[in-house]
Amino acid sequence: MKVIFFGVRDSEVQFFEKLKNKYNYELTLAQGVLTLDRIDLIKDHNCVIVRGADKLDKTLLQAIKDQGVEYVFTRTVGFDHIDIPTGHELGFKMARVASYSPTAIAELAFSLAHSLSRKSAYWAYQSVNKNFKMDQYGFSKELKNSVVGIIGTGRIGYEAAKMFKAFGCEVLGYDIKPNSNFEDVIKYVDLDYALANADILSFHMPYIKGQNDKLINKELISKMKDGAILINTSRGQIQDEQAILDAIKSNKLAGAGLDVWNTEKDYLFKTLDSIDDPVIKGLLNLYPKVLLTPHIGSYTDEAASNMIEYSLDNLNEYLTTGDCKNKL
C-alpha cells in the first residue's frame, strides 16, 4: 500500500519516521500543495492524503482518479477544500481527521489573549522600536481579575477554560448544548450575558454553513463589553473581519487575536511582498492591538503526530473493515 502525503513540513518529518512502521505502508512525503502540474507525483500510489491548502476541485479529483488512486483523505478536521459530491461520484473512499490535540488550539487562544491582556506583545513592539518609556496604553489588568467568556464549550473550549481558570479568571461559557461535566470550571450563561460581561471572549466552534456564517459581526460586537478582547482560533467563516477592524479602530474592542480569517487560503504558505486586501492589510497594520497568525493552531508536536497517525488509522480501518468511522 503506497501512500503520499502532501503539505509535509520539515517539522513533521520526525513524526512520520516514528509512525511509518505502524502499518508498514510505503510513505511518500511531498512538500507543498497538490496541483495539476504536480499530478505525476501520485503515480502508482493507492492513497492521497492532503491538508487544508490543497483545493481538490472537480478537475483535480478527476486527474487523481485517472492516476488510479482509490483513497483520498485530508489530515484536517475541516474538509471544505474537497469537492465531496464529486469525490463520491468518482468512487473515492474519503475520510478526515475527526479531532486532534485540543490543547494545541486552546494554548494558542490562551497565549493570544494573555499577550493582549497583559500587553506583552505591545511592550515587546515598543522595545524593538527602542521606546522604553511607560505609557497609559501599556497599563494592564492582571489576568486573574478578568472575566473570560468561552463561546463553544467542546473539547477545545473546555481546555481553554481550564487554562483561564488556572490563572484565577472567572470563566463564563455559552454552548447550544451545555455540558454538566464542565461546570466545575465553567459557569454557563446565555450568549448576551457572556458578551456583556466578559473582558475576553474566545470562540471555539465549528463552521456550519448557513447557520453561523459571520456570527462575529457588527451586531454581536455591539453587545460586547467596551474594551473587550476578541479571540478566534476556530474558523474564519464565523467572523466578519471588516466589523472587527472597525471595532478596533473605534476602540470598541481593545484587541483581537485571530488565527483564522476568511481569505486565509490566499495567503498561507506564502511570503508576500504586499497585501492587496484592504481589510486584512488594515488588521495587520493595527499590530500589536491585533495579533494575526497564519492558522497555526495545529502547529504543535502532539497535534502534528495526531493528524498523521489518525490518517493512517483511517486507511487501516477501510482496509480491514471496508468502512471508516471518519468517512466523508
Catalytic residue ranges? 235, 264, 295
d(CA 281, CA 124): 21
Q: Which of 300, 306, 319, 324 has the alpha carbon at shortest distance from 105?
A: 300
Contact 172, 198 (CB under 8 A): yes
Sign of CA dihedral 121, 125, 130, 133: negative
Pairing of strands 187-188, 2-5: unpaired
d(CA 267, CA 278): 14
Q: Output the CA–CA distances (angstroms, integers) from residue 55 to 2, 25, 33, in the order listed.
A: 22, 25, 8
Residue 84, Cβ density class (10 Å: 0-12 exposed, 13-18 middle, ≥19 buried): middle
